[in-house]
Structure 1
Amino acid sequence: MDTTSSLFQLPDELLYLWHAYRTEVLLSAGLVFAVVRLALYWRGGSRKNKEILTPPVLTPVDEKPLVIQSAKESLQDADHYEAPIPSAKPARPKPGPKRVTGVKKAKRPADPDATLDGIQPILFYYTVGGSTQAYAKTLAESLSATTTPTILPPQLHDLAETDYDDFFLGTPKQPGTIPFYLLLLPTYNIDTNLDSFLEHLRETHHDFRIDTAPLAGLAGYSVFGFGDQTEWPSEAEGFCTQAVEADKWMARLTGRKRAFPLGFGDVSAKKGVEERLREWTEGVTAIMKDLAAGKGLGEGVPGSGDAVESGDEEDEEDVDDEQPKRTTTKRSKTADLEDMKAPIAVDFTPSQPAPPKPMVPKTSPTYTALTKQGYSIIGTHSGVKTCRWTKSALRGRGSCYKHSFYGIASHLCMEATPSLSCSNKCVFCWRHGTNPVGTTWRWTVDPPDEIYAGITAAHYAKIKTLRGVPGVRADRFAAALRIRHCALSLVGEPIFYPHINALLALLHADHISTFLVCNAQHPDHLAALGPVTQLYVSIDASNAESLRQIDRPLHRDYWDRFLRCMDVLYAKRHTTRTVFRLTLVKNFNIAEEAEGYANLVLRARPAFIEVKGVTYCGTSTSKGAGLSMANVPFWHEVQLFAAELQRALKARGLDYGVGAEHAHSCCLLLAERERFFRVPAAGSSTDGKVGAKQWHTQIDYAQFFRCLESGRPFAPEDYVGTPTPEWALEGKGGFDPRDVRVDRKGRAIEIAGKEES
């Protein structure tokens, strides 16, 4: 009975064990099965491969020549290879390694014949004298007259006012439409913004980070060039060379979507250029209608031809554009290295670079445009202009904000620059896009002594023309004939000039103070800069994207350069008075950017921060960038932003206070409290507050020159001037009571006891 009972209990125990450990048992069994299966597979596969690769011992083998498919045959159907048409007689294979030839083709839409929703013509032009702009407007009117439901009215853009990244790094996104580019380009033998545009196209093509054909999304493009055949009779001699170059790069960037051949117009024959432009316009219009109807760009390769035309079949993708093209000599089919008995003649003479050209030649339209704006061009690349505040100060109607902040009387100040070229195209700049731009100095260099003599002589000549202006005070006119200060800003980038330190030394030798302004794009130049009275750096944005939209820098590594300049400023903070100049542009760089500006201040630690509202000059450049009076902040908005910036700085352990203001210029000055809020020196207090701390933003210019001429190191604190005047302090407006404020009709404005608004 006990035996039977134990037998019946055994299955229950097994069942219990199964339920308790069935998961582990199943997983173990599966793992063992998989290992066994893989082992069998590997052993079988190894044996099978061995049987295939090695015949049985003593088995006869028929040795046949191994047929290897040629490179061209193996790439017959590849996208980047164009198969040749087979000839009746097969070509004999050439000895030696094969070379794959051909051109890499850009990716194309899956259905190129699909009907487009709409064609958006976008017309780009560049002009210095205005003639190309007139042709562009005429073309826009002509295209507007032929618009259809599928061909939209054209958009017009001046390349001097256009951010290239918005249109030439990728296709602009417009829902339901596809853009069609038209470019009207003159040719100049001087440096203009057009050179930077062509350089942008070239760099985009060679930038490995950018797609091979970033503009392949265009419906098509076409270029029309303007030239003067009396000066350049043929293309080889320079006729429309810049249009030809733009057409070449556009062909590559669009994946060969040239919709209509490159057009040429000779401006020396006005009737001829209008006729050629009319024919080109008709052809472009017909192509756009075909595209809208889904007919595409025509048969064969897209566009009118390859990127390389005029019989040039060389694959330029493999040739550096800056190197001379290689020439090949014909050799017999059986030629080999041993057959080359004589050495190949090689010319080791270094190629002579083209001589540098003047930045602004006297015969150029740039020279004409700048002189029309009131500039005196000195030499080939410098300029001087009389500031409106100089005229105001001569008449006793007030000086600029630098008088309130630093004690500079405007009628004693000269505004000049040793470089009319700039590396930015700021949206608020009043240069009208007429001065040259560039990222490196490639022009002739004038000696600093000639520049110094030229700018001072031109400034005095301009001052003398004001002696008969009604209201000019005799004492101030006499004082103005002795320059005491020089603002190296005006237009362009002064620090760009190769001999800037020598020019500064000449100014200092005549006891002329120097206020130098740079745009934080040349850190190496900034690091090598010698002593200046005060060093400005324009800080127009707190992040990379805002800086790109506002300053529109030409350097692609503009943000890295910008940050490196911040580090240079930090290194100079104990040897130079450094200033951040913040230009506030409403809807661009004000909203919620105080924190970003505070981070930059923490990195550079400038002595002063000028917070200034943008001055709208009403030019087409500003309008083209989307700037209007609506972007000009009010005085109270500048004050609110400065207060927000102070709070952000305080949170980072930085104590800056409002040291002075100039409400008329919509500008106030933040200064480091620890360094410039101090007890006045004995006898220097102007308000009777003995022993009380006061702001000291003014400069002792005589002391600056004593420190400079001593040859010993000195700091910004060593030439601090008298306390900031009471009328320049926060809440006082900043207008010197010794002057008279007037309205636009010359009538005096009563401001006593009233706060500036």
Structure 2
Amino acid sequence: LDFCVILWSFRVFLWLVCVFLGSFCVCACCQLLIYIYIYIYSTYTFCVFWLFVCFLSHFDNFIPAVWVFSLSFCVFFGLCDVCVISRCVQGFAAELSEEVKTLGIPSEVIDMKDYDPDDQLADECTSRTVCVFIVATYTDGRPTENAQWFCKWLEEASTDFRYGKTYLKGLRYAVLGLGNSAYVGHYNTVGKNVDKWLWMLSGVRIMTRGEGDCNVVKSRNGSVQDDFLAWKAHFLRRLQALARGDSGSRSSKSSCMKTDGADHEGEEPTLTNHSSEEELMETSSDEEQSDERTSGSVVDVEDLGNLMDSVKKSKVPETHVSVIQKVSSILLLFRKRKLWILYPRVCLRNMYSRVKSLFAGYKLIGSHSGVKLCRWTKSMLRGRGGCYKHTFYGIESHRCMETTPSLACANKCVFCWRHHTNPVGTEWLWKMDPAEKILEEAMEKHQNMIRQFKGVPGVLPERYQEGLAIKHCALSLVGEPIMYPEINTFLRLLHSQRISSFLVTNAQFPQEIRNLVPVTQLYVSVDASTKDSLKKIDRPLFKDFWPRFLDSLRALGEKRQRTVYRLTLVKAWNVEEMQSYSELIALGQPDFIEVKGVTYCGESSASTLTMANVPWHQEVVAFVRQLADMLPQYEIACEHEHSNCLLIAHTKFKVDGEWRTWIDYERFQELVEAHEASGGTRSFSALDYMSQTPHWALFGAQEQGFDPADTRFQRRNKTKDVSGC
């Protein structure tokens, strides 16, 4: 009785304890379920285990077909003169190559420093080549010296929409990473990354990534040499399994870069391996020590379609096929929906934190700025031609810095090449960094990116030296640079460094346009010619976007320096509004009109554009001809066929029958200095710093805008690149 009285007196306390314990148990169970979900989702363990354990136990013919093709083989390695591990890399590569040759398979060992992936790696996709990458992790998780450029290119390509998710589709590869597990935070980082990047580009693993550990205490086989021997034995078995269906005629070419697979066309089954946002699946080598009869035993969810085809073609009972179909459909649905609500999310107000993980390849500056190396900068460093600005206005693409002081934008354009991962807003909401800091860090980061090209195959030494001296700045990277409150200070700092300025705005800030100091060239993006189409294409945030748009064009017409309308053609969206475009041109009276076909930026949930919306170059030319015929004071001046872009120029730039669309940059700097020295009273116009356009840049020239001083280069077996900058 006394005990009951005591319990009753403490009933409130006991009730609270029960509630607390119950809540704790519920939370713990939920968290456990989340971890189980993430584990199953990220590794596809359930898919592989269920399909291959349950069904293989019931019938023997549920085995995907072995690849049948003539093999060649190459080993890529990276090393460093002062790195002990990297010396093992070279020895392992040579040893593996000799072992492969004993199997009658042509083999080659390649130093990554002497290999240009931009030129040659895509060729391995069409040849019957198995590529092995033996890479070591050096200080702070970085690649060794010889592998730095290869790894940097691979990382950028895996996140660059211009290459696409299927750029290395058909490449068969294996990765062996060497490292020391004593360095916990960086153990085998390079090997993991190389494997991940190749997979993101749709390369096909022929086996799980191997690891060699220099830490003898934790090494699986006792030493890095023994780890290699164990991996090598497993790899050779895998290689023999791939070649088992060979007809006996092997490729006579030993170079992995020149193996011709045309004679075997159609022999290999299509294996898709699309990249996704999930983490790369990691498994241990022990998981693949079983008999090699199950070719391609690691199956991603995306490959279930191909797996189902194999099942249907084999003699499998219909009941089993039905079950497999149900399981695969559930897994695919599970993957597509992603159930984001289960993932803990942290929302940060700082713009830098928000975009840090989203802008692959960007060098972020402070809290709201960024710089990135343009693809045309890389191209011109190799003497392969510059961007359309080189053709139209004479900039040196390898000396151009592409940056922005504001990653935020007031539009959400359907063709945005950042897929709307950047912040948006109608006013400045972020902690502002000083213009001096932004420019200093932008130049430093840009020059550091240029320095990474030192010694890269194909880079011209004289272009490399010139590239370190920045001469032009394209404020068109992403976002709306004119939103930055200190944009005029930033422009003055550029000019004080004798750097020309190319500023792009989306025509939503008319007052800021009027307040701008003189720039080398001022752009306004005119993506549509009517209110409805502008709303549909640009999706502006301002409710009064149309009055702002028209007022911005009027403000542009008040400027005395060079002004440009930038028209982006999107087939089936804005190519039928010819008369409306001519009216907008009459409103702003720009010096130049750039007309460019939209660039396809890949699939995105934020955009419905497809390749069908990308106009062919001849379609852009036809549009420009019609538009120029409606403009009495304008004519077609220049063409850059590679960028799918043409330039319409005001006839005032046609002096004595010769076009002068190029810019005298030194003269511009002199005029700006005089303008600043006079306190703004001494003005100048676009005609004061124009220069003659070379014949190869003119519309109708045989070169179609390609500088004959450079060497034309086109990737083989890839779709045509129509991207610009």
Flag the structure with higher helix content.
Answer: 2
Report the TM-score, using the length of structure 1 for normalisation: 0.48
Structure number with higher relative contact order (C-alpha < 8 Å, ≥ 6 residues apart)? 2
Report the TM-score, using the length of structure 2 for normalisation: 0.50
Higher radius of gyration, 1 or 2: 1
